[in-house]
């Protein structure tokens, strides 16, 4: 037995797969392919099967839709903060603009959801980018504070001027044709957002984004217009938020001032901290954890804020890297016995 053990040794499972960098792989066997693909498949299949698993629980099917909407906002925040270097607290602005745009297109122009959602996504993203354009030279806490003012200002203007339905909001919006359409539109949007942004940040444009984040003056000295890239990053981020807002308006068949609520700015940040910033997928995992907790604690009112504070404090103190980074590191440390 001892001799048999001497003929073997332990080595990392990913030994021989990763070469030079994390982005270059040398795959020689289907077991290695399975090692790389399995976590991604578990996430994708899990999301796609969630509506089926929750059939006996219609309330939690609706919660799943809300999770996806918050996930879009969290991906938006993660991308803008960790790849472009703009920490935005304007998630509520994106949500409100997208919701009101979809509501107006549907109720006043009679356009169907298949048109209102994509148009509200693109048009709302353009509107939010124009609003934030004068603020792009700002960085850090200054941009964060200014971006937080916009949803507060928008809500108060609608209330004071009594426009877009005033405090009553815009009612009579068409809902999704079925719960299945609602859930799979949102799940598909989340998966598409993660896939597209992961591809984008690994391309040349992603390299420029990270350069703007790390040292925008050096990028500017290279002859690249950093304002253009910042505006492009804000446009992508705001489109994701507006997509969530447009879908939320059709889910509730109503759009109102509450879509500018600060919950839409705060919870995505908390989810990104819990899931792991700079990973994109971690933001989704954070929403899958925090939003159901929020629903469970709904009857406790403002006590939810205390729970969020405890969770965030615990993660920042003990696991500041977030769940995704921790899980990835542990997964890559798996070992196996191999013959010498």
pLDDT per position as a tens digit, 277-336: 888 999 999 999 989 988 888 877 777 777 777 877 887 787 778 888 888 887 777 666
Q: What is the pLDDT of residue 20?
A: 44
Residue with tokens 């209330």: 159
Q: For residues 273 and 285, what is the distance between their CA atoms, to the nearest angstrom?
A: 10
- Strand ranges, E, within the chain: 8-12, 18-19, 21-25, 170-171, 254-255, 335-339
Alpha-carbon distance of 1 to 265, in angstroms, equals 61
Residue 13 has a pLDDT of 65
pLDDT, position 51? 94
CA pair distance 22, 339, nearest whole angstrom: 26
Query: Over pLDDT 90: what percentage of the chain?
Result: 53
Taking the C-alpha atoms of residue 76 and residue 312, their distance in angstroms, rounded to an integer, is 19
289 in Cβ contact with 280 (< 8 Å) = no
Owner of token pair 């297109």: 105
If you average pLDDT over each of 5-14, 93-102, 199-208, 276-285, which comes out highest?
93-102
Number of domains in the chain: 1
Which residues on adjacent β-strands are paired with residue 335? 12
Tokens of 264: 């839409």
Within its chain, how far is the Cα of 177 from the centroid? 25
Q: How much is the pTM?
A: 0.90
* Helix ranges, 83-203 (H): 91-107, 113-132, 140-161, 179-201
What's the pLDDT at 296?
Answer: 84
pLDDT at 103 over 80: yes
The SS3 of residue 258 is helix
C-alpha 278/C-alpha 85 separation (Å) is: 11
- Answer for the pair 212, 91: CB distance below 8 angstroms, yes or no: no
Q: Which domain holds residue 138?
A: 2-339
CATH code, domain carrying 122: 1.10.3470
CA distances from 43 to 14, 192, 282, 313 (A): 20, 13, 11, 27
Q: Are 192 and 75 in contact (CB under 8 A)?
A: no
Contacts of 94 (CB under 8 A, 6+ apart): 73, 76, 124, 125, 128, 237, 238, 240, 241, 242, 244, 245, 264
142, 75, 124, 84: which is closest to 280 by C-alpha? 75
Average confidence score pLDDT of the chain: 86
Whole-number pLDDT of residue 262 = 85
């Amino acid at each position: 037995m001892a001799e048999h053990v001497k003929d073997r040794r332990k080595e990392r499972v990913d030994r021989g797969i990763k070469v030079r960098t994390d982005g270059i792989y040398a795959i020689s066997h289907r077991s290695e392919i399975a090692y790389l693909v399995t976590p991604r498949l578990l996430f994708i299949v899990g999301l796609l099967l969630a509506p089926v698993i929750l059939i006996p629980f219609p309330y939690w099917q609706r919660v799943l839709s809300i999770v996806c909407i918050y996930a879009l906002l969290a991906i938006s925040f993660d991308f803008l903060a960790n790849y472009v270097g703009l920490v935005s607290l304007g998630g509520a602005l994106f949500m409100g603009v997208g919701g009101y745009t979809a509501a107006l297109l549907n109720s006043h122009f009679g356009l169907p959801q298949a048109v209102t959602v994509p148009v509200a996504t693109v048009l709302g993203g353009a509107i939010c980018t124009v609003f934030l354009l004068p603020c792009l030279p700002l960085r850090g806490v200054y941009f964060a504070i200014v971006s937080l003012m916009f949803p507060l200002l928008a809500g108060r203007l609608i209330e004071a001027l009594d426009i877009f339905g005033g405090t009553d909001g815009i009612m009579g919006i068409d809902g999704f044709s079925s719960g299945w359409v609602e859930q799979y539109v949102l799940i598909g949007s989340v998966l598409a957002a993660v896939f597209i942004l992961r591809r984008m940040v690994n391309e040349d444009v992603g390299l420029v984004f990270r350069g703007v984040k790390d040292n925008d003056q050096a990028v500017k000295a290279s002859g690249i217009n950093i304002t253009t890239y910042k505006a492009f990053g804000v446009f992508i981020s705001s489109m994701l938020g507006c997509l969530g807002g447009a879908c939320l308006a059709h889910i509730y068949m109503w759009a109102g001032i509450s879509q500018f609520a600060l919950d839409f700015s705060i919870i995505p940040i908390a989810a990104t901290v819990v899931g792991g910033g700079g990973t994109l997928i971690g933001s989704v995992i954070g929403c899958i954890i925090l939003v159901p907790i929020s629903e469970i604690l709904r009857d406790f009112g403002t006590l939810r804020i205390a729970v969020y504070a405890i969770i965030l404090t615990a993660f920042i103190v003990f696991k500041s890297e977030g769940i995704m980074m921790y899980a990835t590191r542990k997964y890559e440390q798996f070992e196996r016995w191999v013959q010498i």
